[in-house]
Amino acid sequence: MKALMSVGALIGVLGLLMLIGMIFGVVPSNTVRLVEGYMPMQVLSELAIFVAGFAGLSYLANSMGMTIPRFWQGVLFWAFIQTYLKFRIYPPIPFSVRAMYGVVSFVAVFMWVSANEEDWKKFRQPILNVLDANTGFHKALRTMYLILLPILIGGFSFMTMKPSVDEPIELRTVHPAPPASTKVHGKTYTLQTSQNPYRVNLEGKYDQAYSNKLIVEQGMGRLMAPNANPWDDKAEGYLKYVREGGEIFFQNCHFCHGDNLNGRGLHAFAFNPIPANFTDPGTIAQLQETFIFWRVAKGGIGLPNEGFPWASVMPPWEQHLTTDEIWKVILFEYWHTGYYPRTWD
C-alpha cells in the first residue's frame, strides 16, 4: 500500500511541477501536448492522475506526521482545479463554463470534506476558530476580515455597477431548428424525408451503408479507405460525386471553411465567429444531410428568428450553385471529415 501511495505521490509532485512549469514558461508549454481529437479523454485522465497523486501525497505526509489540515486540502484542491481549467486547457474555456465547473468542483470539495462527521469537524474547525477563538492570531484575523470584507463587497459592487464597454454576452443558437420543408430552385424538399441523390452505390441506388464504408477514416492521420480514392480517374458513382463535390468545395467554400474543413480558411479570421468547423463532432456529425442542404441553400440571411443574432455571413448558395452542386458538396464534406450524416432508421 505504502509503495503504491509513494508512486502516486511521485506522480502528483511531478505533475504539479510540470503544470506550474508550463504555466510560468519554465518548461515549454507543449511538453505534454493536448492532442486535438483526444483532448476530452486526455483532460479527464490527467485529472484522475492528479487526484491519485494528491491522495498519495496526503498519505505519505500523514505517515511522516506532517498531516496537511483538511481545510487546506479542500481549499488547495479547489484552487488547483480552477488553475488547471484556466491555464492548462487551450483554446481557453469561456468564463461561463469555467464558472459552472468552478461551482461543481466547489460542491464536490464540500461533499468530500463533509462526507463523514470526523472530516467535517476537521474541515470547519479553522473556520470556527476564526469566528470565536481567543488567541491573538485569530483576533488579528477577525479584525483583518472586518476590514477586508466590506472593501471586497464594495469593490464587487463597484465593478458590477461600472459601465462596461465590452460587447454583450451572446447566447447564440448554433443549430436553429429547420423548417419542415424548404423550396430550392422551385422544388420543395421535405427535410425529414429527403435524401442526397448522390449518396448511391454502384447500381445507382441510394445506399448509406455503401458510402459509409468509403469515407475517410477518423483519428490520427485521417486515411482514405482502401481502394476509395475519389481522385482516381476510374472512380465511379459515389466516389466520382465526392470528387465533383470536392472541386466545388475548393472553388467556393474552402476560402472560409478551410482546406481541412476545420473552419480555418484564408478569410476565416475576418469573421467573428469564424466559419463552422466541420471536423468538430458537434456540427455536421449531429445533423441530417437535409439540414445542411437547407443551411447551405439559404445561407446566413435565411436563418429563422430562432437563429438570432444571425451571426453568419454565409451567402445563400442557391443563388450561386445548382441543387445538384449543393448535394455534391455536402457529400464531399461528410466524406472528408469521416462523419456519417444523421439518419432516423
Partner 1 sequence: MGSVTRTKLMSVMALCAMIGLLLMPILVAIPALAGDGGAPAADGKKEGGEAKVEKGKDVYYKTEGIVSGPPAPKTTDSEKDYPRYNFESRVLLWFANQQHLYYGSFVLAVPIFCMVIEFMGVVTKDKAMAKRYDQLAYDFIKISLTAYSLTAILGGILIFTFLTLYPAFFQYLSGIFRPVMHIYALMFVAESGTLYIYYYGWDKMKEGFLKWIHLSMSVVLNVIGTILMFLANSWIGFMMSPAGVDEQGRYLGNIWHVIHTALWNPLNLHRILGNMAFGGGVVAAYAAYRFLSAKTDEERAHYDWMGYIAMALGVAFLIPLPFAGYWLMREVYAYRQQMGITLMGGLLAWLFIIQATMIGILFLSTNYYLWQALGRMRGAEKYQRYIKYLVFLLTCGYLVFITPHTIVMTPAELKAMGGQQHPVLGNYGVMSAKNGGINVIITTTVLSFVWYMRGNKVSTVSWAKFGNIFMGCFFFFAYLNIIMLAIYGYYIPANVRVGLSVPQVATTLSCLFFMFALNSVMMKGAKQMGPIEWGKISARSQYALIMLATAFTWMMGLMGYIRSSVRLFWHVNEIMRDNSPWAYTHTVGFAANMISANVLFFWISIMFVFWLGALAAKKAPVEAKAAVPGRATAPAVGH
- The residues in 188-207 that bind partner 1, with binding defined as CB under 8 A, are 191-192
Q: Does position 94 bind partner 1 by CB under 8 A?
A: yes
- 285 near partner 1, judged by CB under 8 A: yes
Only one of the segments 4-12, 43-51, 129-137, 155-163 lies at the binding site for partner 1 (rule: CB under 8 A); that segment is 43-51
Instruction: Check residue 101 for interaction with partner 1 (CB under 8 A).
Output: yes
Q: Which of the stretches 44-52, 124-132, 137-145, 233-241 binds partner 1 when contact is defined by CB under 8 A? A: 44-52
Residue 108 burial by Cβ neighbours in a 10 Å radius (0-12, 13-18, 19+): middle
Q: Which of residues 132-171 bind partner 1 (CB under 8 A)?
A: 166-171
Which window, 134-142, 154-162, 240-248, 334-342, contacts partner 1 (CB under 8 A)? 334-342
* Per-residue burial over 227-248, b = 16 or more CB atoms within 10 Å of its CB, e = otherwise: ebebeeeebebbbbbbbbbbbb
Site for partner 1 in 73-92 (CB under 8 A): 89, 91-92
Cell numbers for 75? 481549499
Query: Could you tell me which stretch among 18-26, 130-138, 143-151, 173-181 binds partner 1 (CB under 8 A)?
Result: 173-181
The verdict on whether omega for the bond into residue 91 sits within 30 degrees of 0, i.e. cis, is yes
Question: CA nearest 78: which of 97, 60, 57, 101?
Answer: 101
In angstroms, rounded to a whole number, what is the distance separating the alpha carbons of residues 85 and 94?
A: 10
- Position among 53, 277, 325, 328 found at the interface with partner 1 (CB under 8 A): 277
Q: Give the residue, chosen from 76, 79, 115, 153, that forms a contact with partner 1 under the rule CB under 8 A.
A: 115
Closest CA to 192 of 328, 290, 339, 298: 290
Stretch that binds partner 1, among 64-72, 124-132, 221-229, 336-344 (CB under 8 A): 336-344
Regarding 218 and contact with partner 1 (CB under 8 A), the answer is yes
User: Helix or strand or coil: residue 131?
Assistant: helix
With beta carbons less than 8 A apart as the criterion, state whether 262 and 269 touch: no
Number of residues this chain uses to bind partner 1 (CB under 8 A): 77
Residue with cell 492521420: 221
Q: How far is the CB of 142 from partner 1 (least distance, A)?
A: 26
Distance CA 241, CA 236 (A): 8
Task: Work out how close the CB of 218 gets to partner 1 at its nearest, in angstroms, rounded to a whole number.
Answer: 6
